[in-house]
Structure 1
């Protein structure tokens, strides 16, 4: 199983904080460093020094790292126009030497939209816009060099675009679609995504979501085996119960609750949890790290968990 580190910088992190985590992620041998794409803190934290833009920080990390993959889980379709987003992601892909992945979702956190003047349409329209963004971004990237791309859309019409720049990695930038939506999300994943991700869900809910995505692939005439399935879980690992409790307290959570709802406990317990997701078909796990100052947490997981999953 690929293990990826997943961060939530809107809770309070500077670029230097993210760089320290990304470099530790790389040095420890994890597969990737991902970050959320949010503009407002959640919960009872300060959020200082304030939000950072996902694709600007990933551009910096593209130059400040050399091997790990980089991406968003997930960029909100409400935040950016699809044409400029395709340009930004392709640019960061080139800056990284082909290590970028794009997670794209409909957007859900209304408070951050109000806080920064971003329109927040109703859910149905957000999914319509997400669908069209996926059509535009995929179309721009797949248009042969020297040809133009046109899209007749209700929200993002495109006319005679040169469809440049292109991603540098073979096959283009992998797109990740995720979430627990029972109908439209699986269909979008089957149509556009290299990977389907289900975040912060139980084993039963994960099994049901994976089955829906496999079914959507079959309905679309796609081999379900071509879809990477992944899970995201909050991480709280300690060498013993005392260390687990200390790390849980640092992020304002209870050890027992984390063991039930996340990848938490001793290394053996975290391995057992990840193996349970692997049995459902997950070949990748995103480990949400909430205390970005605790780099020893990453090192422990790399040494005691990674070799066993």
Structure 2
């Protein structure tokens, strides 16, 4: 089981804060640093100092780190056209020496689109499918050949399909609770399926759907990596757990039910239950980015027990 750190910078974090967390992620032996792709805070916070762009952030971190993988849960498909996005991600992959993972989702938070003048189309899933076809098609086109695509939403003609990523294949992540279309897209395009903030029962059900879709598409179900994203709130004792829960405005009981909360032993046990269902990666949503002691505790008392 590998642990990855997952941040939500739209809630209030500048680049320097993210850099500090990313360096701690690397120094403490975690597998990867991920971030969300949002432009507007959620809940009661003011979001100060304001949003940071996901791929500009990851470009900077690509030059400031050397080992950890870098990625998004998930890049919003509504924010960027697929051709320029393919160029951006390939460039960041090259800047990192081939350490980028690419999570792509349809985009869902209408208020942030309104706040920054971004169109919010009614039909997002069809666009997502075409974006996956275009982006992976551009990356996979052999050098010297051209890429063309004729879709409902996007048309490309005689693209040189450059630049190429540093990796021969950038891992693609797809996630969500969709019962039919999400598993089908995962089976066709993804290397990893991620279930965000789901219970053990949700995980068993959705992993099963994805496995079935992969086999129906002619892929071995075990070709895919299966992962969960869960909020983390770990403390050496109950008092420390309560303090960390209060700092992020959550209740301990709710976090224990819906996330990874409690003492290290409790969290190790629950991670093991997700592992039994097929998860091999856990994305730890860390909401208090100033609490680096939290990361140290997880590294020393949770991650060390999982190796």
TM bucket, shorter chain: over 0.9
CA–CA separation in structure 1 for the residues paired with 2:270 and 2:35: 22
* Partner residue in 2 for 1:63: 63
Q: What TM-score comes out, normalization by structure 2 length? A: 0.99
- TM-superposition CA deviations, 1:201-243 (whole Å, max 9, x none): 1100110000000000011001111000000000000011110
* Partner residue in 2 for 1:169: 167
CA–CA separation in structure 2 for the residues paired with 1:286 and 1:232: 4
* Partner residue in 1 for 2:158: 160
Q: How does 1:1-309 map to 2 (within 5 A)?
A: 1-122=1-122, 125-170=123-168, 172-309=169-306
CA–CA separation in structure 2 for the residues paired with 1:288 and 1:78: 23
- TM-superposition CA deviations, 1:165-207 (whole Å, max 9, x none): 011113x211100000111000000000000000001100110
- Give every structure 1 segment of 4 or more consecutive aligned residues whose post-TM-superposition deviation is greater than 2 Å: none
Q: Which runs of 5+ in 1 are unaligned?
A: none
CA–CA separation in structure 2 for the residues paired with 1:41 and 1:80: 19
CA–CA separation in structure 2 for the residues paired with 1:106 and 1:116: 17
- Give the aligned CA root-mean-square deviation in angstroms: 0.5
Question: SS at the partner of 1:19?
Answer: helix
Q: How far is 1:54 from its partner?
A: 0.1
